[in-house]
Structure 1
């Protein structure tokens, strides 16, 4: 069978190069927005996000016509990152990788609690807006949970739906404790919740 010849590099100014450039700009805006929202709150303007991302204001407004659209995109991007992390953890073969992923999910939720609250206030549901992405993350959690069950590092009666519900509950607990801005306090709350997933020991 003849080997496939590699794609030639995109010519300067070609549609393919422009599409790649637009994707890079969008990703840079998302990363910058995520960082600024977590560090400085939701009052950061789209123009300031553009300046910090090193792109023109028109680029940001073209991709994200409103703050709500940017909030939603940031949240969906986080789910994609977490799903990718789950896939990478599965490849390590670590039976306790479930706890690593859940810790990261809770940390991500704490860091971006303001964005999630804004979406709730605007009646945006990430699971409805990006069902495939949400389902992919749930699938990664279910896979890691199955591996954890196989070696007995989690409660045998624990289900993937319960795990996802507990992660959502962790966000609420962290907000209730006003711990969003304290990595130490939010991490402690996460540890307390994760400890409840481990097998019960008999004395």
Structure 2
């Protein structure tokens, strides 16, 4: 009887050990998958920014240090990968905007944020190509991320307007249109690498946004 009880206890212990090992292995696999995804997004962000949307997907996988199969398991198409990069970028911008929402100088907070977005667009080839071609096709599942970004951006704008730093007849949609128009103007004139001209145009845009008595 004692032997049978001992055998049953040993069996139960083995089952628990197997369950624990399975759980640990599953956690390890999930951690590895998460790390792979983060590596892919980081590599894709840099690759898209430097080489544009035409970069081969295999090159991004190589830069991320993963196999092409691993990349495709996370992102079945290049479009899906670019969308994920764009969503991640929007989330970073939202976090930055929220951190500036309590800045002591609402005008400076707004114009610093606005300038950083314009500069990102100027230096990022993929963003410029996407703005030019209308390649931003965000899935409905990600609309919440876009709305969060617009809300955080609008908060900075409204605070700056209330502080009489920004003209009152501007909204977030106007800012997006201004960004696209500025980038397209630089591209069409063939001087996309002229940093001095870019800063001059950015200065003109900022002065146009400032509150006038």
Q: Please tell me the TM-score bracket, short chain as reference.
A: 0.7 to 0.9
Partner Cα distance (1:86, 1:26) in 2? 25
**TM value normalised by structure 1:** 0.78
Number of the residue aligned with 1:18 = 29
The question of whether the paired residues in 1 share the 8 Å contact of 2:121 and 2:127 is answered with no
Number of the residue aligned with 2:87 = 76
Match of 2:126 among 114, 138, 158: 114
Partner Cα distance (1:135, 1:183) in 2? 32
SS of corresponding position for 1:79 = helix
Match of 2:185 among 157, 173, 187: 173
Query: Hey, which of these two has a bigger chunk of helix by percent?
Result: 2
The question of whether the paired residues in 1 share the 8 Å contact of 2:132 and 2:184 is answered with no
The offset of 1:194, in angstroms, is 1.7
Aligned length: 190
SS of corresponding position for 1:23 = helix
The question of whether the paired residues in 2 share the 8 Å contact of 1:156 and 1:199 is answered with yes
SS of corresponding position for 1:13 = helix
The offset of 1:64, in angstroms, is 1.7
The question of whether the paired residues in 1 share the 8 Å contact of 2:57 and 2:78 is answered with yes
Q: Which has the larger radius of gyration?
A: 2
**TM value normalised by structure 2:** 0.75
Partner Cα distance (1:106, 1:193) in 2? 10
Residues 139-160 of structure 1 deviation map (CA, whole Å, 9 limit, x = unaligned): 1111111211222111133233
Residues 72-123 of structure 1 deviation map (CA, whole Å, 9 limit, x = unaligned): 2222222111111111222433312111111111122223343553587485
Structural mapping, 1:61-100, within 5 Å: 61-95=72-106, 96-100=108-112
Residues 20-74 of structure 1 deviation map (CA, whole Å, 9 limit, x = unaligned): 3322321221121121222233343222212211222222111122222222222
In structure 1, runs of 5+ residues without a counterpart are 1-10
Number of the residue aligned with 2:176 = 164
The offset of 1:134, in angstroms, is 1.6
Distance 1:45 1:134, change over 3 A: same
